[in-house]
Amino acid sequence: MSYNKVICILPNDLIEKVQEYIDGEFIYIPRKSSNKKEWGARTSIRQELYKRNTQIYGDYLAGHSSQDLSGKYFLSLKSIQRIIRERKNSA
């Protein structure tokens, strides 16, 4: 989210109209539904998490305990268990 000066964007008559409702405070204007992007669409985090979770599941299948994986990947035991469960269910 970024901030822009309203005087650089909106015409004065519209600014004055908005000031009738909110004067000198911050206001958030949400994106249009058609402009929204899915989580992780602008970065590679989805691919990185998929790769990490695939490695976790592979280690689990190789015999590593959930507790060991928790320490290795710096995740909670519950997170490791969730990743393993999701991978089992998707297979």
Residue 39: per-residue pLDDT: 75
pLDDT at residue 1 tops 70: no
In the numeric block, the tokens 């269910």 are attached to 89
pLDDT tens per residue across span 20-73 = 999 888 888 888 888 877 777 778 899 999 999 999 999 999 999 999 999 999
Residue 28: per-residue pLDDT: 87
Whether 51 contacts 45, CB under 8 Å: no
In the numeric block, the tokens 């058609």 are attached to 34
Whether 29 contacts 50, CB under 8 Å: no
pLDDT at residue 91 tops 80: no
Which runs of consecutive H residues, i.e. helices, occur in 1-91?
Answer: 12-19, 45-61, 66-73, 77-90
| CB-CB neighbours of 3 under 10 Å | 6
Residue 43: per-residue pLDDT: 82
